[in-house]
Amino acid sequence: MIVRRASTLGFRPGAWKRGRVLAASALVLGLIMALHARITDRWGLGSLVETFLPWFGLFVPVLLAGALWRRSAAAVVALLLPVVAWLSLFGGLLGGLLGDRSGSGGDLTVVSHNVGADNPDPAGTARDLAASGADVLALQEITTRAKPVYEKALAEAYPHHAVRGTVGLWSRLPLSDTEPVDIAQDVGPLGDAKPAEAKLADARALRTTVATDRGPLAVYVAHLGSVRVHPRTGFGTQSRDRNARALGEALAAEPNERVVLLGDLNGTVDDRALDGITSRMDSAQEEAGDGFGFSWPARFPVARIDQVLVRGVEPVGSWVLPATGSDHLPVAAGIDW
């Protein structure tokens, strides 16, 4: 029936006059996707839209069904705008779905995982991560209580490790020059004083050097501030945005040509708040992923907020690992020189 309706749209009287609301909705949807960077970020609206931008494509088949039911040629034509906008943003990610690029090798395999402060089984999570075969393993949200559990469970597979605050790196290869990265700024973008809780971010990032047989690799591990949705203040991203600016500055000052950033950035690579980071790094998921690679929440992932970003090396594969006891999924990537 739908096919028959579609074939007769252009030949029925009034086909171009019906469904004006559907046509207008399609145009608005297309404009939101095409011009998302111009949406105001007041109350965090822009970041909220950009976080869930891939899901806007689900409105297309809904509107198409309505257009065909109403026999509206105008609505069908208007749907071309959101289709083209969505494909221009995310069409490249669909290519990975045509062939599984997970576990495709490379000189080094890296894994990043927010292990979750409330993880009921850190030892099991550590075993699952060690079984992934990663050469470098970055963990975020390591609690004081769980830290010795991870250290013991990962010691055999990863003889080298460094922990600073709530983030850590375990490696099969030697580490050196490990230091915390201060991702909390003293003042905000408008000169406002740094809130007291922002000081907690001082222990949420580290930088180290991994000694590979191809030369030194600078590795950053970071966990940016959380975002909160509040009925009065909207999508609260102040802490995350403050951390992102500071981390972007640290990456800009990094002298090593080969850099990998692993962490929970609490934002997607489409989120403008991460421009200071993403403008200096490439997303392994976008370059070599096998789909969208959503990583949060673990039970029903809707967003890719756990990232593997690279500079000076080539991602040859990016994939998501099975769930652990955390509310995030681990993300992995193979990189090549």
Instruction: Output the pTM of the full model.
Output: 0.86
- Candidates 272, 280, 279, 332; CA nearest to 129 is 332
Q: Give the C-alpha separation, 106 to 13, whole Å.
A: 60
Q: Give the C-alpha separation, 123 to 261, whole Å.
A: 25
pLDDT for the residue numbered 157? 97
pLDDT for the residue numbered 208? 98
* Mean per-residue pLDDT pooled into runs of 10, the chain (337 residues): 52 75 96 94 86 94 95 95 95 64 75 97 98 97 97 98 97 97 64 46 85 97 87 74 96 98 97 96 92 95 97 96 98 96
- Candidates 205, 208, 206; CA nearest to 224 is 205
Q: Give the C-alpha separation, 134 to 261, whole Å.
A: 15
- Candidates 309, 317, 318; CA nearest to 247 is 309
pLDDT for the residue numbered 330? 98
Residue 186: how many other CB atoms lie within 10 Å: 9
Structure tokens at 7: 């074939």
Read off the amino acid at residue 48.
L
Residue with the two structure tokens 């608005």: 28
Structure tokens at 184: 């909390």
Return contacts of 249-257, CB within 8 angstroms, 24+ apart.
249/276, 250/181, 250/183, 250/205, 250/207, 250/220, 251/220, 251/277, 251/280, 251/281, 251/311, 252/276, 252/280, 254/207, 254/218, 254/220, 256/209, 256/216, 256/217, 256/218, 256/312, 257/311, 257/312
- Candidates 317, 220, 239, 325; CA nearest to 277 is 220
Q: What are phi and psi of 82, to 5 degrees?
A: -65, -30
